[in-house]
Amino acid sequence: MTVSRLRVGVIGYGYWGPNLVRNFQELEDAEVVSVCDIRRERREHFEKQYPGLTISEDWQELVRSPAVDAVVVATPVSTHYQIAREALQQGKDVFVEKPLALGADKAGALIELSQRRQRTLMVGHTFLYHGAVRKIRELMDQGELGEPLYLDSTRANLGILQDDINVIWDLAPHDLSIMDFLLRRPPLSVSATGASHTGRGLEDVAFITLHFPDHVIAHVNVNWLSPVKIRRLLVGGTDKMVVFDDNEPSEKVKVYDRGVACSDSPDKRHNELIQYRAGDIFVPQLDLTEALLNEARDFVASIREGRQPLANAESGLRIVKLLELACLSLSRDGAPVEVN
* Short-list 305, 304, 339, 311, CA closest to 325: 339
Return the biggest CA–CA distance within the chain: 77
- CB of residue 108 vs a copy of itself: minimum separation in angstroms? 28
Contact by Cβ (8 Å): 93, 130: no
Contacting a copy of itself (CB under 8 A), which of 138, 251, 287, 305? Answer: 251
> Could you tell me how far CA 206 lies from the centroid of its own chain?
17
Residue 28, sorted as left (phi over 0), alpha (psi -120 to 50) or beta, turns out to be alpha
**Does 78 engage in binding with a copy of itself (CB under 8 A)?**
no
Segment holding 238, helix H or strand E: none
By beta-carbon proximity to a copy of itself, the closer residue of 91 and 158 is 158
- Tell the smallest beta-carbon distance from residue 313 to a copy of itself (Å): 29
User: What are residue 292's phi and psi, to 5 degrees?
Assistant: -65, -30
**Which residues 252-291 are close enough to bind a copy of itself by CB under 8 A?**
254, 256-260, 262, 264, 270, 274, 276, 278-285
β-strands 217-223, 148-158: how paired? parallel
Least distance from a copy of itself to the Cβ atom of residue 268, Å:
12
* Interface pick for a copy of itself out of 19, 78, 89, 193 (rule CB under 8 A): 193
Site string for a copy of itself, 209-238 (x = CB under 8 A): x-x---xxx-x-x-xxxxxxx----x-x-x
Q: Is 103 left (phi over 0), alpha (psi -120 to 50) or beta?
A: left
The residue range among 95-103, 174-182, 192-200, 306-314 that interacts with a copy of itself, by the rule CB under 8 A, is 192-200
Q: How far is the CB of 270 from a copy of itself (least distance, A)?
A: 4
Helix (H, G, I), strand (E, B) or coil at 156: strand
Q: In terms of CB distance, is 115 or 275 closer to a copy of itself? A: 275
Whats the size of the chain, residue-wise? 340
Q: How far apart are CA 183 and CA 173, in angstroms?
A: 15
By beta-carbon proximity to a copy of itself, the closer residue of 133 and 255 is: 255
Q: Count interface residues toward a copy of itself (CB under 8 A).
A: 81
Residue (108 or 284) nearer to a copy of itself, CB: 284
Q: Which stretch binds a copy of itself (CB under 8 A): 56-64, 86-94, 118-126, 207-215?
A: 207-215
Chain centroid, CA 339 distance in Å: 20
Under rule CB under 8 A, which residues in 144-183 are in contact with a copy of itself? 149-150, 152, 154, 156, 158, 160-161, 163
In angstroms, rounded to a whole number, what is the distance separating the alpha carbons of residues 26 and 16? 16
Which region, judged by CB under 8 A, interacts with a copy of itself, from 102-110, 177-185, 197-205, 305-313?
Answer: 197-205
Question: What is the C-alpha separation between 338 and 323, in angstroms, rounded?
Answer: 13
User: Residues near 266 by Cβ (< 8 Å), separated by ≥ 6?
Assistant: none
- Of residues 112 and 283, the one with the C-beta less far from a copy of itself: 283
Cβ-proximal residues to 282 (8 Å cutoff; 6+ apart), any chain:
254, 255, 257
Q: Which residue in 196, 293, 301, 314 binds a copy of itself (CB under 8 A)?
A: 196
In the bound complex, what is the minimum distance in angstroms from residue 76's beta carbon to a copy of itself?
Answer: 10
Within 79-118, the residues that bind a copy of itself by CB under 8 A are: none
Are 120 and 309 in contact by the 8 Å Cβ rule? The answer is: yes
Q: For residue 166, what are the contacts with CB-CB under 8 A and spacing of at least 6? A: 194, 196, 202, 203, 204, 206, 327
Taking CB under 8 A as the criterion, which residues in 36-75 touch a copy of itself? 48-53
Complex with a copy of itself: residue 13 or 316, whichever CB lies closer: 13
* Closer Cβ to a copy of itself, 137 or 258, answer by number: 258
H/E element holding 201? none
Instruction: Choose between 107 and 242: whose C-beta lies nearer to a copy of itself.
Output: 242
Q: Based on CB atoms, which residue is closest to a copy of itself, 305 or 333?
A: 333
